[in-house]
Amino acid sequence: MTEENLVLVDKQDGVAVVRLNRPDVLNALNMPLRRRVAEVFESFVEESGLRAVVLTGNDRAFAAGADIADMSKIGAIDMYLRHNERIWGAIAACPYPVIAAVNGYALGGGMELAMHADIIVAGRSAKFGQPEVKVGIMPGAGGTQRLTRAVGKFKAMKLCLTGEIISAEEAHAMGLVSDLVDDDKVLEHAMSVAKRIAALPPIAVQQVKEVILQGQDASLGAALALERKALQILFATTDKNEGMSAFLEKRSPSYIGR
């Protein structure tokens, strides 16, 4: 399989579907796959017609974790020189909303990858977990930090310290999963959400994402100031005028991203 085929990309109506494609190893995240995912997300930054991204795997696995066979052969310096934080950063920096559509396993690096998304849609049979401690390591791509921010200290501690695998229902109950749907409806539901977002004014959508992400680690006062400034900027957009005019005139708006 060529490196390009490790990730399949399809675009329609302003939505890009990014599919991990190592089905023989449950989409285990080796370095070629990670690099290819980063390249794909980096290419999205300049696509003005793009409005949302759906990130998915296959029916058996979103991503079952890092490639242990690969990791077992390297030491600390090799691990450092990989600079995985730069690779994952391409996903975190995506200006468009990212929706993870999760079937099957989302474990270790796979769960961390899903947590780089803005919305997680999971099938009822999906499984989540950070089992790294069971092989003598720990999460290293946000599993301790993003998870704590998503579900709180005590749930995150239990998952990371025990390596417990939990059901999608448990993940939904603790606030990790946005929407829980039947297994065969995961991609359909994720696409529906993406298309709803894609129909909205793009600058407003991007400002919502930016303010939520940047504000979560700021003081309340600073975050509220950031929110106010973003709102004020939106009053300068053509789409704000179009949206409010369409509302008052009882017609469907036509947004242009300006």
49-93 confidence digits (pLDDT tens): 899 999 999 999 999 987 777 777 888 888 888 888 888 889 999
Phi/psi for 15 (5° steps) reads -120, 130
Same domain, 103 and 207: no
| 3-class SS of residue 121 | strand
Q: Would you say residue 3 has pLDDT above 80?
A: no
Question: For position 75, what pLDDT does the model report?
Answer: 84
Give the pLDDT band (50/70/90) at residue 177. Answer: very high
Exactly one of 110, 117, 132, 194 is catalytic; name it: 132
Same domain, 124 and 227: no
Same domain, 90 and 186: yes
| Mean pLDDT of the 132-160 span | 94
Q: Report CA-CA distances (Å) from 105 to 54, 56, 65, 139.
A: 17, 11, 8, 16
In a domain, 45, yes or no: yes
In a domain, 41, yes or no: yes
Same domain, 94 and 135: yes
**pLDDT over 70, % of the chain:** 99
Last residue in a domain, options 198, 216, 241:
198
User: What H or E segment, with its residue span, contains residue 220?
Assistant: helix 220-234
In a domain, 170, yes or no: yes
Asked whether the beta carbons of 186 and 123 are under 8 A apart, the reply is: yes
Give the pLDDT band (50/70/90) at residue 213. Answer: very high
Same domain, 21 and 110: yes
In a domain, 15, yes or no: yes
CATH number at residue 244: 1.10.12
Question: For position 15, what pLDDT does the model report?
Answer: 97
Q: Would you say residue 37 has pLDDT above 60?
A: yes
Q: Would you say residue 102 has pLDDT above 60?
A: yes
Q: Report CA-CA distances (Å) from 218 to 206, 213, 225.
A: 19, 10, 10
Asked whether the beta carbons of 253 and 242 are under 8 A apart, the reply is: yes
Asked whether the beta carbons of 168 and 102 are under 8 A apart, the reply is: yes
Question: For position 4, what pLDDT does the model report?
Answer: 73
Give the pLDDT band (50/70/90) at residue 1. Answer: low
Q: Would you say residue 128 has pLDDT above 80?
A: yes
Q: Which two tokens mark 148?
A: 């704590």
Same domain, 179 and 135: yes
Same domain, 100 and 213: no
Exactly one of 28, 52, 64, 66 is catalytic; name it: 66
Report the alpha-carbon distance of residue 88 to residue 70 in Å, rounded: 18
In a domain, 258, yes or no: no
Exactly one of 28, 106, 108, 112 is catalytic; name it: 112
CATH number at residue 120: 3.90.226.10
Please tell me the pTM assigned to this model: 0.93
Exactly one of 57, 108, 109, 129 is catalytic; name it: 109
Q: Structural domain of residue 221, as residue ranges?
A: 202-249
Same domain, 149 and 206: no
Same domain, 228 and 135: no
Number of domains in the chain: 2
In a domain, 256, yes or no: no
Is 66 one of the annotated active-site residues of the chain? yes
Query: Among 148, 167, 190, which Cα is nearest to 106's?
Result: 167
Same domain, 111 and 234: no
Report the alpha-carbon distance of residue 126 to residue 60 in Å, rounded: 9
Is 42 one of the annotated active-site residues of the chain? no
Same domain, 102 and 127: yes
Same domain, 37 and 151: yes
Report the alpha-carbon distance of residue 183 to residue 120 in Å, rounded: 14
| Mean pLDDT of the 101-126 span | 97
5-25: per-residue pLDDT in tens? 899 999 988 999 999 999 999
